Amino acid sequence: MSCIKTLKEKGLKLTPQRRLIVDAIHDIDTNLTAEEIITHVQARMPEVHKSTIYRTLELLEKYGCVFKSEVGERSVYHHVDERHHHHHLVCSSCGKTIECDEDFFTNLEKSLAEKYGFNVDFKHIVMSGLCEKCKNKNK
């Protein structure tokens, strides 16, 4: 429930719309599409406009309560306080999703920082490719 606390601390108003959006992110499990959030919210308060929802999600991202990742065209939102940070491998053929530990990226991050002085911002990445089954299926 730290989302609510964060909003308060930042001096932002606690509207019923915002409470519902925060609820959605807590209630439903991880990796929500914007559409799922909109459905959840409008089920209990139908007049809430999608623009309100997108704006709130943007806010929550800005204050570190939520990650936003692009999966293909769509966006996926992801509540932040989880057991541990992770990324996702999504099979472009069958859609299967594998959780991938973020440790795999620490080397890469380090070498990009060394070579280019660049600090990459790897937060909850979604990578596409082929899972084991699909890889073998196609000969």
Partner DNA sequence: ATCGGTATTGCACCTGGTCGCAATTATACT
Partner DNA sequence: AGTATAATTGCGACCAGGTGCAATACCGAT
Closest CA to 70 of 103, 31, 101: 31
- The three-class DSSP label of residue 79 is strand
Q: How far is the CB of 71 from Zn ion (least distance, A)?
A: 15
Between 57 and 80, whose beta carbon lies closer to DNA? 57
Distance, in Å, from the CA atom of 114 to the CA atom of 116, rounded to the nearest integer, reads 6
- Binding residue (CB under 7 A) for DNA from 5, 9, 12, 101: 12
Q: Which does 93 bind (CB under 5 to 8 A by kind): Zn ion, a second copy, Mn ion, none?
A: Zn ion
- What residues have CB less than 8 Å from 19, skipping those under 6 apart? 4
- Assess contact for 80 and 65: CB atoms under 8 A: yes
What x-and-dash track marks residues 29-48 binding Mn ion by CB under 5 A?
A: --x-----------------
Where on the chain is the footprint of DNA (CB under 7 A)? 8, 12-18, 33-35, 45, 47-52, 54-56, 58, 73-75
